[in-house]
Amino acid sequence: MIKNKNIVLIGFMGSGKTVVAKALAKELKRTVISTDELIEKKEKKIIREIFRESGENYFRRLEREAVKEISQKENVIIDCGGGVVINPDNMADLRHNGIIFYLSTSPEYIYKRVKDHPHRPLLNVDDPLRKIKELLEKRKKFYEKADYTLDTNGKTPEQNCEEVLEIIRHE
């Protein structure tokens, strides 16, 4: 089993990162750190407000700082915001002391999971499913740089957690 290495979860919004991170934390008795929660705590604003008031570029700078800070830790589970992968420096920092798992999910599953959550700033558009497909296509090459890819379609968070555990037991 990986000792002191971080378990890093990446994937599009709605792929189940937060739920899987919590299940892993419980199973492994580790702390979960969310890049988005860290940003919200430091800014004293929710992500949607940061996007609305300061824009995506500002948010991505905050995200970069959060990743730098979190990636210095050991033996934690890192729940990354969906766009963290866009910056190659983020991926390099996360990989330095972590094993990266991409929770791959189809656009249709994502849409089903997030359609009733208006707090998703990138989906406040006329056709959210089209936007999901567009963003997934743009990010696919970044997500695929993960150490492991898990297909989460039709699986429970517990099944996804078990799959991660199985992989790290053999690492």
- CA–CA–CA angle 165, 41, 18 (5° rounding): 25
Element of type H or E holding 138: helix 128-143
**Confidence band of 18 (pLDDT split at 50, 70, 90):** very high
> Reduced to 3 states, what is the DSSP secondary structure of residue 117?
coil
Burial class (CB in 10 A: 0-12, 13-18, 19+), 95: middle
Domains of the chain in sequence order: 6-169 (3.40.50.300)
Helices (H), 10-75: 17-28, 35-43, 47-70
What per-residue confidence (pLDDT) applies to 162? Answer: 96
What per-residue confidence (pLDDT) applies to 25? Answer: 96
Residues of the chain with pLDDT > 70, as a percent, come to 95
